[in-house]
Structure 1
Amino acid sequence: MKLGKIIVATILIVVAILGGMGAYLLQPSGQLRDFDAWQAKPDTSAKSLNIRFFGVSTLLFDDGQEQILIDGFFSRPSLWQVLSSKVSSNAALLQNIIQEEQLHRTRAILVTHSHYDHALDLPELAALLPHTQIIGSNSTLNIARSHPGVKASQLRRAVSGQPLQSGQFKVTPLASAHTPPTPVNDDLGEEITAPLKLPAKFSDFKEGGSFDYLIEHDGQQILVKASTGFIPGQLKNVQADILFLGIAQLSRQSEDYQKSYLQQTLATVKPKIVIPIHWDDFFQPLSQPLQFLPRFADNVPESMRILIKAAEAQQIQVVLLSNTGPYSLLKSASSQVL
């Protein structure tokens, strides 16, 4: 009897410890307020180009007439949903966002790669926005094809180095590389070879090849690099006023990798402003303020410190956006504080 009580007590202690560890690992890896000095204030005073940031690498560029959308991941299913069931779009949420952000003015959705946190909402968005082009890899287009309301004329395969004109926006896809694989994210290079029926498991969203996008508008050049990966020398002829730079898992790479990544991006592109992206907890809904990825997924504060140190050494301004925009992007980024 005494031995049985000891066993029960031991089990309860182990469960409590594991539960405490789980709760700790699910907490944000840091606090956004610790980086207040780099946070931008929403501003719509400029008449040239405004941007909204919706977390991960979802970016909406708006010149008052037309829009360009990067990825368009809005539904953000919870961690429990992702791990325990199949995922799909929140159609009602998307309809509200389309109305609130006037997305009927969106000329193109540029998809960086085909993981669910970039492409989950693509079929529903394409069906709701029948005049919008979908640009991405073959895998991305096969995700869009899963919705019967999506027209073949909307789909356009991205070709690295081949510019596309979309209204006043000139867009050039550039072949890129995804963040180095993890045990959960080890499908790099795998493709989606047929229309992906939704709902689907998160693991069904294969990477399918990655793209950066160079966006040119009214004399301003903006480069969006969603993933913390690179192809050596790919950006040697690219310069941009503003660089949106993915920092997911940056702090968990080797020091040599960190240096190479920042050399191939910051030091090569030489932006006036660098804006970190793919740092937020995308298991949380957009109705809440963005917060850093949880401890089990990343160490965002350390990634931020690595980026800030490298940028300041090159006299590049670091600007951190939240989902409370929009923000103004003026022609002269050198004299503009966002």
Structure 2
Amino acid sequence: MRKRQLKLAITIALSLSILAIAPVGCTGYLSELADNPDHQLHESGRKGDVKATFLGVTSVLLDDGKTQIMIDGFLSRQKHWLVRRVSPKIEDIPDLLAKAGAERGHCAGTSEKTPDQCSSPAEIRGLAAVIPLHAHYDHALDAPLVAARMSSFLVGDSSIRRIREASTELEGANEVEYDWRETLFVDPSGTAPSKLKPCKENTCRFGEFTVQLFPTPHVESLLTCVATGEVEPRFSFPAHLWKMKEGSTLTALITHRKRKLLIVPSTGEITNQLDRAGNADVAMLGISGLGIKSSEYREQYWSRTVSERRVRRVLPVHWDSDTHPLPEDPGGHLAPGLNLADITLRHYQKLATTSDRKVEIKFLPVLKPVDIFTGLNLM
């Protein structure tokens, strides 16, 4: 009897904690803005601009017309419960990658060589790398499969490596379309088995993209408390959500021809972790969990990620429900989550218009490539 009561208590506690990290609450205002073309970014059509294709949560494909980078690569958006175990939906991944416009990684001048065989990182074309910003389910579940499918580098820590190892055992993962060579894995500190070294001291270079990775804290909740630490060595699929432990949470600063994009995946209490990042033009700002925080907490998060970085445009991410599939049509409706995002959005709209430095808040349409720097009059 006591065991059953304990199990029920744990389940209730974990269920309540999902309200703090999963996308809970009033979201009518957010949907009104996110679905409104006037509040969305648009395609510029200029060759060489960096296009971003949003895939929900914090997954995004960045493309300059030659080289691509994918952040997270989470595509298996499926209904899940705390008591249910999940696996990547391997059968859906190829079609979703095609919809996103992802191209198989290769070297300039030849489609026969994969990115690890290029003479230099500048020569990489197509999808050069998949970079999950931590190992939780809604960021890293599909990342190894996406990288293997596209012959791309997978950038990650030991937790990502263990998810990769588990992914190789999935049914269908060892077909000829999947490239699991060890030379296509690199950890953020720069270790890579291949001769090509795209990363050094948490800085990676792919084509004209430079990616700097900064450790930042994950937002705290009851569920993240049981999903902190490293993924266990014997991890396998199917797995409960809390088995995909955090590993290292990273914030990415991506530079392309002097234009800078900051991607913050989680709303942890950032202090000075981004001081070395310098300024950014645009920030993809995770907002999940901020709705239950105090206004002081939200203001400090904005200050550390937007004001101090002198950001001119904020693109909210991690506001949608990861249990709903992506829409069939590009630009379609993305189901909002339950993270009290309306509270956060109203607060940040006020900060954006009343602070000394005006900031524009725009939304990324799903599955639709848009120019994230358009209209900012950058050199």
- TM-score bucket (shorter structure): 0.7 to 0.9
Q: Under a length normalisation based on structure 2, what TM-score does the superposition of the two structures give?
A: 0.74
User: Structure 1 43/212 Cα, relative in aligned 2: closer, same or farther at 3 Å?
Assistant: same
Aligned counterparts of 1:287 and 1:195: Cα–Cα separation in 2: 35
Per-residue Cα deviation, 1:200-254 (whole angstroms, up to 9, x for no partner)? 1111110112000111112211111011114311222321111111111112112
2:162 to 135, 139, 142: 142
- Bigger mean CA offset, 321-330 vs 215-224: 321-330
Partner of 2:341: 300
Match of 2:60 in 1: 59
Secondary structure in 1 matching 2:230:
coil
Cα 1:176/1:303, change in 2 over 3 Å: same
C-alpha distance in 1, partners of 2:41/2:260? 22
Query: SS at 2:94's partner residue?
Result: helix
User: Which residue is 2:112 aligned to?
Assistant: none
- What corresponds to 1:151 in structure 2? 181
In 2: Cα distance, 1:82 partner to 1:64 partner:
39
1:211 partnered with 2:255: no
Q: Which residue of 2 aligns with 1:180?
A: 220
Letter matched to residue 98 of structure 2? Q
In structure 1, C-alpha distance between the alignment counterparts of 2:24 and 2:262, rounded to whole Å: 32
Partner residue, 2:376: 334
Q: Does the 8 Å contact 1:30/1:300 carry over to 2?
A: no
Q: Distance in 2 between matches of 1:172 and 1:163?
A: 4
From the superposition, tell whether residues 333 and 195 of structure 1 become closer, same or farther in structure 2 (CA, over 3 Å). Answer: farther
CA contact (8 A) 1:126 1:144 kept: no
2:9 corresponds in structure 1 to none
| Alignment counterpart, residue 280 of structure 2, candidates 219, 222, 240 | 240
Structure possessing the higher radius of gyration over alpha carbons: 1
Question: The residue matched to 1:91 in structure 2 has which SS?
Answer: coil
Paired residue type of 1:293: G
Structure 2 gap ranges (5+): 1-22, 105-125, 169-173, 175-179, 190-199
Query: Deviation per CA, 1:16-54, whole angstroms, max 9, x where unpaired?
Result: xxxxxxxxx988632411564862143151221111011
Deviation at 1:107, TM superposition (A): 0.3
Residue by residue, what CA displacement relative to the aligned partner does 1:287-319 show, whole Å, maximum 9, x if unpaired? 26212213xxx1111111122222222301111
Specify whether residues 195 and 71 from structure 1 end up closer, same or farther in structure 2 by C-alpha distance, changes over 3 A only: farther
Q: Count the aligned residue pairs.
A: 304
Distance in 1 separating the partners of 2:33 and 2:210: 37
CA RMSD across the alignment: 2.3
Query: What is the alpha-carbon distance in structure 2 between the residues aligned to residue 128 and residue 318 of structure 1?
Result: 34
The answer on whether the counterparts of 2:260 and 2:282 sit within 8 Å (CA) in structure 1 is yes
Taking every aligned residue pair, what percent have the same amino acid on both sides? 26
Cα distance in 2 between the residues matched to 1:195 and 1:268: 42
Question: Matches of 2:40 and 2:309 in 1, distance apart?
Answer: 22
List runs of 5+ in structure 1 lacking aligned partners: 1-24
Matches within 5 A, 1:269-288: 269-287=309-327
Using the size of structure 1 for normalisation, the TM-score is 0.83
Alignment CA distance shift 1:60-1:326 (3 Å): same
Greater shift in the superposed pair: 139-148 or 266-275: 139-148
The answer to whether the Cα contact below 8 Å between 2:211 and 2:255 also exists between their aligned partners in 1 is yes
Q: Paired residue for 2:93?
A: 94
Aligned to 1:280, the other structure's residue is in SS state coil
CA distance in 1, matches of 2:264, 2:234: 26
Within 5 Å, give how 1:95-110 maps onto structure 2.
Answer: 95-100=94-99, 101-104=101-104, 105-110=126-131
The 5 Å alignment of 1:244-283 reads: 244-283=284-323
C-alpha distance in 1, partners of 2:136/2:71?
A: 14
Amino acid of the residue matched to residue 307 of structure 1?
Answer: Y
Q: Which amino acid aligns with 1:208?
A: G
Matched, 1:114 2:135: yes
Equivalent AA in structure 1 for residue 341 of structure 2:
V
Secondary structure of the 1:310 match is helix
Give 1:256 deviation, angstroms: 2.5
Q: How does 1:223-234 map to 2 (within 5 A)?
A: 223-234=262-273
What secondary structure sits across from 1:269 in the alignment?
coil
Distance in 2 between the 1:86 and 1:172 partners? 33
